[in-house]
Structure 1
C-alpha cells in the first residue's frame, strides 16, 4: 500500500528519492521487451526505481484510435495523421449500434503476461520485481475517440466498463506484483476549459469516474498520473498554477476515504513538453492546501533545464512540508530520443541523490 508522507520521510532520511518513469520509453526500445526492461536499470545509477517499466507502444493513443475504424458500431467522422491534438481521427457511434467493452480493451493483460515472462528471467538487482502497467483513463479515451466533450458522454459507459474489467483482471492475477498507473491528462485539461464557477460540479463528475476505476482494484498499488499531454512532445495547454490539481486531488481523497480505499500516490506534473518547470513560488502555493497524507511524485525533471528542475523540487517540498515520494519527468519519455531520455534519467538520479534544501535542513 502507499505509505504516508511521514513514513516515507522516516524511511528516506538518508536514502535517495525513488525515480519514477511515467511509463513510456523512446520508440527504439518498445519493440524488444528485454531491451525496454533493461534500459532503466542501466540508467538509474544507484537511485531506486518505483517499479520495472514496459510500455508496449508510446504511440498507443494513435494506434488505438486508428484501430477503431474496424469496429462495425463506429463511423469515422474525421480522419487525421495524429501529428497534433487537432489532427487525430474521431468517430461516432452508428444509430442503432452499441459499443462492446471487449472491443475497446487495451490488451493490457496479454501485454503484462508477455512482460512478466521476460522480467522473471532478468536479474533486477535491488529493484523490486514489480511491473508498472499503464492504464489510460476511460475519460481521456472517450474525449479523443469522440472528438469533443459533448460527444464523449455516449462513449463513457462502454469505455468505463472496459477499463474496469482490465484493471480487475490485472489485480486478480498479479496482485502486488503490478503497479497500476491511471493516466489522465484530460482531468487537468477539463479544468482548463471550465469556468471557475463550474469547477465544483466538474470535480464531482471527475471524482466519480476516477474513483470508479480505482475501486475496481481497491487493494492494488496505484499511481495516479496527472499530465498536461505530450503528443509530439507538446502539452495540451500551458499550466499557470496547481489549483485545479489540488481541488481534484482533495476531493478524490475524500471520496476514496469514504469508500475505505487508500489514496493513490500522485504523479504531479510541473514540467511540460520541452519547457522548464516553473520556479515561481506562486505556481506551487495551492500545495499548501493539499490533504496531508497524499504522497506526491514530483514531475519536475526537464533534462535541458537542470537548475529549474532542482528549484522546482525544492519548492514542492517546501509547500508540502516534507519530502516527495518520488521524482520523475512531467510525462513519459516516449517522445524523446534515446539520448534525451538518458539525459532525463541522469538528471533524475542526480536530484534523487542530492535531496532538496528542505530535506537537508530536516535531516541535519
Structure 2
C-alpha cells in the first residue's frame, strides 16, 4: 500500500544511472526492491558511464582529428557549475566516426548478457524489459564541441549515434528492449542556459533532430527523458512548470511510448506546475516525484500536487534524473537502497 491517499503513482521508472559497484549489483538490487513495480530495468550506467555524457570526451578525443581545446562558457545557467564546460575542436577532415567507437552498443551488449542471466536465475521478473539509455546526438555536440564546429560535426555524430542504436537493436531483441533518449541540452538551449550554433538553436531544428534520432530505432519501444540538468542535483534552469516538456513531447508523441519529466523539488510542489500535462499526447508518463534527498514529506507533496494539477493523470514514480550521483548533493545523502525503497513506498505495484 502506498504512503499517500492517491493512486495516480503506479509503477516505477528508473531513469538510468544507479550508484552501484557494477551493472550486476545495480540490477540485482533494483529488481529485488522493485520487483512488482518495474516495467523495464536499466543496467545502472556504472563505471565510466556514471557521469552521463562525460565519458564521450575520451571516446571522441581518441579519434584522429578531434582534440581538447580548452573550455567554453555557457551564457546563463542558474547553476553556475555549468558555466564553464570542457570543449572539443573537430577538424573538417572528420566526416565519419569508426563503427561502434562511442561505446553505447558495447555497453548494452555486455549488460544485456548479465540481464539475461539474472532473469534466468529468477532475480529479474520474466516480463521486465531491458532498458537502454542513449543521449540525443544534439546533447553531446552542443555540450562539448566548440560552437564554430557544431553544425559541421552534428550530422557526423548523429550518424554515429544512429549506428550505435541499430547495433543495440541487433544484440537486444526488439521485444526485450526499451530504448530511452536523454533530452537535456535541447532544454538548456531553449531556456537560454546554453547556446547552440546557428539554426541548431531553433525549436524547428531541435524537434527535427529529435525525430531523426528516434527514427534510428524502428520497431523498438522508445521514450524520452526530459531533463533540466543534475550537477549537484541542481538544475541549469529551474522549471516553473512542465509546459516546455509537454511541447517537446507532443512534437514527437507519434514516435514514442513514454516520456519522463522532472518534478522540481520546490516549484513542483505547486499543482500549477503540472497543469500543462492535461494537454500531453504521449501514451505513458513518468514523473520525477521521488525526492533525491529522501524526504518522505516532500515526496508526498510532489505526488499530491501532480495528481491535482494533472487532473488525476496516472504516472510512474521516478527521481528527477539518474541516481548515479546521489552523494553529490550533501553529506549523509540517502543510499541507493533507501531511494529505491522510497519508490516502492510511494507507488502502487503494476503486477
Same fold by TM (over 0.5)? yes
What are the equivalent positions in structure 2 for 1:251-270 lying under 5 Å apart?
251-253=251-253, 256=254, 262-270=255-263
Higher helix share: 1
Give a deviation string over 1:69-121, Cα, whole Å, max 9, x none: 332212322159xx942343211222x41242337843222222211222222
Residue 62 of structure 1 aligns to a residue whose secondary structure is helix
Give a deviation string over 1:326-349, Cα, whole Å, max 9, x none: 110000001114843222222211
Give a deviation string over 1:302-322, Cα, whole Å, max 9, x none: 043322322322333334444
Aligned to 2:158: 160
What are the equivalent positions in structure 2 for 1:10-21 lying under 5 Å apart?
17-21=10-14
Answering whether residue 37 of structure 2 is matched by residue 48 of structure 1, we say yes
Aligned to 1:227: 227
The structure 2 residue matched to 1:350, chosen from 331, 345, 350, is 345
Structure 2 residue ranges without an equivalent (≥5): 1-5, 73-79, 194-198, 328-332
Structure 1 residue ranges without an equivalent (≥5): 1-12, 257-261, 356-364
Aligned to 1:139: 138
> What is the TM-score when the length of structure 1 is the normalising length?
0.78
**Cα deviation, residue 135, structure 1:** 0.8
**Cα deviation, residue 263, structure 1:** 2.7
**Cα deviation, residue 36, structure 1:** 2.1
Aligned to 1:244: 244
Answering whether residue 301 of structure 2 is matched by residue 311 of structure 1, we say yes
**Cα deviation, residue 223, structure 1:** 2.0
Separation in 2, partners of 1:127, 1:306: 31
The answer to whether the Cα contact below 8 Å between 1:16 and 1:48 also exists between their aligned partners in 2 is no
**Cα deviation, residue 151, structure 1:** 4.3
Give a deviation string over 1:146-185, Cα, whole Å, max 9, x none: 144x642222101110111111222244212121110111
- For the aligned residue pairs, the C-alpha RMSD in angstroms reads 3.1
Aligned to 1:72: 64
Answering whether residue 183 of structure 2 is matched by residue 184 of structure 1, we say yes
What are the equivalent positions in structure 2 for 1:251-330 lying under 5 Å apart?
251-253=251-253, 256=254, 262-271=255-264, 275-276=265-266, 278-291=268-281, 293-302=282-291, 303-330=293-320
The answer to whether the Cα contact below 8 Å between 2:11 and 2:316 also exists between their aligned partners in 1 is yes
> What is the TM-score when the length of structure 2 is the normalising length?
0.81
Residues 1:298 and 1:344: Cα distance change in structure 2 (over 3 Å) = same
Residue 18 of structure 1 aligns to a residue whose secondary structure is strand
The answer to whether the Cα contact below 8 Å between 2:261 and 2:287 also exists between their aligned partners in 1 is yes
The answer to whether the Cα contact below 8 Å between 1:135 and 1:181 also exists between their aligned partners in 2 is yes
The answer to whether the Cα contact below 8 Å between 1:52 and 1:130 also exists between their aligned partners in 2 is yes
Aligned to 2:75: none
Aligned to 1:109: 105
Separation in 2, partners of 1:289, 1:120: 38
Separation in 1, partners of 2:308, 2:288: 15
**Cα deviation, residue 210, structure 1:** 0.8
Query: Aligned residue pairs: how many?
Result: 321
